[in-house]
A and B are shown apart, each in its own frame.
Chain A
């Protein structure tokens, strides 16, 4: 199993450009999440999803969009990139119910907006 896979690992954008961060998991997890981590800070929840076709806003959703057309994929779209979106983005997933709700993370995508 690959677990949670994020692409790209690094990206530099110019102000106003758009891009999509890809996230895929092969663990058949229902729940998927996008977090951002600014330097020296904790993780802030951007969006999450409880299953295909269902998404919801987290703590810091402005400037981002998501979709969940399949169980496996949860892409994060940045429209009109701004310097404030410079951050490391983490995708995570977990199963619903069961004995554990352990959260599994991808390796992160480092985005710089200049």
Chain B
């Protein structure tokens, strides 16, 4: 099956810093999504981005489908950005998750 690798596994930032999270996948996909899991365990969809670039406030994402990777950019990080960021990919109905990047933002 398809393999999903996220890096880095952990990231510690000071408030105001920028960061880039990466998601590599092993096969062509027609579905790629980024999620944020907050410290209370709630999973929130950030982007549906099988290709191209999208922006939402301080967050943006780029997927280069031909090279099988996606990047999530967080600018001017805030303490509320802390949590785990997951990438999920799929070629049909099933969506497979990576192990996530744990982000800790301190004030």
A residues in contact (CB < 8 Å) with B: 31, 33, 35, 41-45, 48, 50, 56, 58-59, 88, 90, 92, 100-105, 107-108
Contact = CB atoms under 8 A, between A and B. Distances in A.
B86 A102 contact: no
Contacts of A48: 93-94
B31 A43 contact: no
Interface of B: 1, 31, 33, 35, 41-45, 48, 86, 88, 93-100
A50 B35 CA distance: 22
The secondary-structure label for the interface of chain B is strand
A58 B95 CA distance: 9
B41 A103 contact: no
A43 B1 CA distance: 15
A101 B48 contact: yes
Closest 3 CB pairs of A and B: A105-B43, A42-B99, A43-B97
Given A101-B33, A103-B88, A45 B94 contact: yes
Given A43-B86, A58-B94, A102 B48 contact: yes
